[in-house]
Structure formats: C-alpha cells, structure tokens
Amino acid sequence: MNTSYEKMDEKFEYIQENLNMASKRVAPLQSLSIAAKALETRINRAVSPGLALLESFKLFESLQRNLLEIASGLLAEKNSRKRLEKLIRYVDCVDKLKEAIVCISRESDPAIQKLQEVVEFLSRTKATDRYRTERLRETLITLKAICETEVDSMSFDGLLDEALLNLQDEYEGLLKKLRHQNIGEHQGEAVDGKYLVSNSLGSELEVEVLRRISETLAANDCLDICIDMFVKVRYIRAAKALMRLSPDYLKTYTPEEIDEMEWESLETSIALWIQHFELAVKNRFRSRKEPLQPSSRKHHGRNGLARVFHQDC
C-alpha cells in the first residue's frame, strides 16, 4: 500500500512539474494574446469612424441619384398638381442631401484624427507588422484627400448648389402665379343678395410648396434671395396697380414690358410714383384747406391728381 502511494505521489509531482513548466511557457503567449486583442480593439475603434464616413458617402451618392431622377420627372410632368407633389419630393430630397453633407462634414475630422493617431502609434511602437501599418497609412492618405476635395465641392459646386438654384426658379415662378384677393370686386356667387368674395391667393398645395421651399432656402443661407424675389414680385404687382391710377400711362407700356423691366429701373419708377402720389395728396388737402384761392383749385383739383400720374417717370 505504501509503495503504491509513493508511486502515485511521484506521478502527481511529475504532473505538477509539467504543468508549471507549461504555464511558464504559455504565460508569454497569453500576454501576447491580450496585447494583440487590445491592439485589435484600438485599431477597430480608430477605423470605425472611417467606415461610418464611407457609409455617409454612399448615402450621399444614393441621394444624388434619387435627386436627379426626381428632377427629370419634374421636367417631364405637365399636370400642375402632380408637379407640385413631385416638387415637394424634390425639396425633401434636397433636405436629406443637405443633412448628408452636414453629417460628412461633421464626421470627417474625427475620423481622420482617430486614424492618424493609430497610425502614429503603430509606427512608433511597432506593435504590428509593417504591412498592416502601411495599409492603414494609405487609407489615411486616401481619406484625407477625399475629404479635402469632396466636402467643399459637395456644398458649393455640386448637385446641391444646382438644386438650390432650381428651387429659387421654382419659388419665383410660384410667387408670380399667386393672386391676392381683389378688394372691392365681387367674385363668386350671390348669397342672400350679397356676393361672396373668393380668396384666389393659391391652393393649399401651392402655399405648402412655397413654405417648404422657403424653409429649405433659408436653411441653406439663401434667405436674402427669398426676400429679394418676394419683393421683386410684389414690386411688379405694385407697379401694375399704380399704373391703373393713370389710364393714359397704361398705353406706354404693356404688361409684358413691365415684367421685363430692369430691377433698378422698376424700383426707381415706383419710388417716383410714390413721391408724386404723396405730393398730389398733400396738394389736394391744401386746396381743400384754401377753398377761396382760385389758383389752388385750378392747379391742384381733381385733374391735378390725375395729371401727376400722366408724367413719364
């Protein structure tokens, strides 16, 4: 019995020695494995923002194709309502395209910085093989080049800029189609002996499209252009309304010629008309205050007001 126990003890000691020896040999490998996993995690964390940036670029390309497809359908559409509906889709796509560009601009610098940090770390510590370091360095150089050349062109020279110009044209065209309620003119059907005045500003869809285009243009630093176009259209309407005060002046210009007037000329003309109108009203009031002066009634009476608007401005 004792002999058997001694033999078993010897076997256990031998096994223990083998285990200790194996543990000493495996310990460095275990440390290397932990270090390799830590390095892999660090590289993956550095590469992940770059991969997300590439996905944003893919989304941008997809939105560009979608925008071109909607634009071609918009040009071919003849039905006004369907065209307005497609125009809303066009505005939605422009908004998404802008969001994609903003996302790319926001993600580009952190992605480049993370990748640059890991490349510098690998080059300094030589924690991985040279081939892998070179691949990461080439990826960094390529990503930098793409961001430097593409991000600015996306915002200022690409399809977004062209789409914003198209929206400006659509915005001005829709503004010209709108008609305000004609005050003093009876429109519609008579109810209980009274005429109901209909509001012909535009359909709800037209107003909605104008609102969406205004918001999109304002979000892309084009608010001043929206205001300029709105004022220009209203100036043309005001010019035509002021011209109605002088029937003779209507014969000098056709409505088409008014539409083709230069912006500066139209603005100057309206300013002069307003000044003449104020002068005529003041003189009219003065003639009312001085009824005993024949000269006032002669020069600033009813015919005097009309004569002011007969002048060629």
Tens digits of residue pLDDT in 42-89: 888 888 888 888 899 999 999 999 999 999 998 888 898 899 999 999
Q: How confident is the model at residue 299 (pLDDT cuts 50, 70, 90)?
A: very low
Distance (Å, whole) CA 175 – CA 171? 6
Q: How far apart, in whole angstroms, are the C-alpha atoms of residue 119 and residue 138?
A: 10
Nearest-angstrom CA–CA distance, 195 and 208: 28
CA–CA dist 91, 212 (Å, integer): 7
Q: What are the Cα distances from residue 126, in Å, to 2, 113, 134, 136, 138? A: 58, 19, 12, 13, 17
pTM: 0.62
List pLDDT tens digits, range 219-228. Answer: 988 888 888 8
- Biggest CA-to-CA distance, the chain: 154
Q: Which domains does the chain have, with CATH numbers?
A: 32-179+197-221 (1.20.1050), 231-308 (no CATH)
pLDDT higher than threshold 60 for residue 302: no
Are 161 and 152 contacting, i.e. CB atoms less than 8 angstroms apart? no
pLDDT, tens digit (0-9, with 9 covering 90-100), for 145-183: 888 888 777 877 788 989 999 999 999 888 888 765 443
Q: Compare 189 and 115 and report the one with higher pLDDT.
A: 115
Composition of the chain by helix, strand, coil, percent to 5: 80, 0, 20
The Cβ of residue 190 has, within 10 Å, a number of other Cβ atoms equal to: 9
**Can you tell me the mean pLDDT for 96-100?**
93
The residue with greater pLDDT, 31 or 176, is: 176
Ordered DSSP codes for 133-198: HHHHHHHHHHHHHHHHHHHHHHHHTSHHHHHHHHHHHHHHHHHHH-----TT---S-EETTEEPPP
Separation CA 238–CA 244 (nearest Å): 10
User: Nearest 5 degrees, angle CA 144-CA 149-CA 152?
Assistant: 115
Strand runs labelled E in the chain: 190-191, 194-195
Task: Tell me what the mean pLDDT of segment 198-221 comes to.
Answer: 82
Residue type, position 20, single letter: N
Q: Which residues, 6+ apart, have CB-to-CB distance to 296 below 8 Å?
A: 283, 286, 287, 290
- Can you give the pLDDT at residue 169? 92
Residue from 233, 105, 263, 93 nearest 167 by CA: 93
* Alpha carbon distance 273, 279 (integer Å): 10
